Amino acid sequence: DAGVTQSPTHLIKTRGQQVTLRCSPKSGHDTVSWYQQALGQGPQFIFQYYEEEERQRGNFPDRFSGHQFPNYSSELNVNALLLGDSALYLCASSTKVQGLQPQHFGDGTRLSIL
Amino acid sequence: KQEVTQIPAALSVPEGENLVLNCSFTDSAIYNLQWFRQDPGKGLTSLLLIQSSQREQTSGRLNASLDKSSGRSTLYIAASQPGDSATYLCAVQTDSSYKLIFGSGTRLLVRP
């Protein structure tokens, strides 16, 4: 049973560029959440997708956007990259059908901005 | 606004010691609380999930307690091993939406 998979593993971009990160949820999960984790900090909630719609959003600017596909996979897009966007981006999946269950996290995408 | 704090930020202990990691949160109206483990450069692994109606959960050498009224949770690790070295994160869920609010973590080093 494959868990949450994220791609790519590492990415290097320069300021002003745009980036797309991808996430495939654990089999049977229909909800995907994205988190940003700066070095030495806990993850910060970016947004959550369910039924192909953004359901909740954290305190992140509109430069951060996302999408969920019919197969429940998801993308995180970041435009006009800033140095401060350098972080580990984590995807977590869960299901609203089975009720209270722990979320499953992927290994993340390490994004470095030069 | 819910805030989660973890103390200490780092901890170094000799192998075999029992230890306690602390987590505090400012708003007692939580849905559940989870403890995660994170190895360097890796994602998060869920260790224990305590529902708001529960007082504790146990898994092997790990025991987590929850006191909502005081806004505190502790993770107890018995007979620590070098393989337990990692960062331990506490997170609260405030509703059924699965949005988690994390602390900054405790970096644990267990010395052989």
Encode chain B (112 residues) as per-residue pLDDT tens digits: 899 999 999 999 999 999 999 999 999 989 899 999 999 988 999 999 998 899 999 999 999 999 999 999 999 999 999 999 999 999 999 877 778 999 999 999 999 9
Q: Which residues pair with B73 in a beta bridge?
A: B23, B66
pLDDT score of A102: 78
Chain B nearest C-alpha distance from A78 (Å): 20
What's the first-to-final CA gap in chain B, in angstroms?
Answer: 41
**For A38-90, how does the pLDDT look when each residue is reduced to its tens digit (9 = 90+)?**
999 999 999 999 999 999 999 999 999 999 999 999 999 999 999 999 999 99
CB half-sphere exposure, B103, CA atoms < 13 A: 29
- Cα–Cα distances (Å) from A87 to A63, A84, B3, B76, in that order, read 15, 8, 21, 30
**Are the beta carbons of B86 and B108 closer than 8 angstroms?**
yes
Let me know: does B71 contact B27? Beta carbons within 8 Å: yes
A-chain residues within 8 Å CB-CB of B101?
A: 45
Banded model confidence at residue A99, pLDDT cuts 50, 70, 90 = low
In chain A, pLDDT over 70 holds for what percent of residues? 95
Q: Is the dihedral of CA B99, A99, A23, A107 positive or negative?
A: positive
* pLDDT at site A100: 64
User: Would you state the pLDDT for residue A1?
Assistant: 62
Quick one: how many helices (H) and strands (E) in chain A?
0, 11
**Record: contact B45-A105, CB cut-off 8 A:** yes
Say if residues B15 and B111 touch (Cβ distance below 8 Å).
yes
Given a contact cutoff of 8 angstroms between Cβ atoms, the answer to whether B44 and A43 are in contact is yes
Q: Cis bond leading into B8, ω under 30°? A: yes
Task: Flag if B46 and A108 touch (Cβ within 8 Å).
Answer: no
**CA of A38 vs chain B CAs: smallest distance (Å):** 10
Copy the structure tokens of residue A89. 């981006």
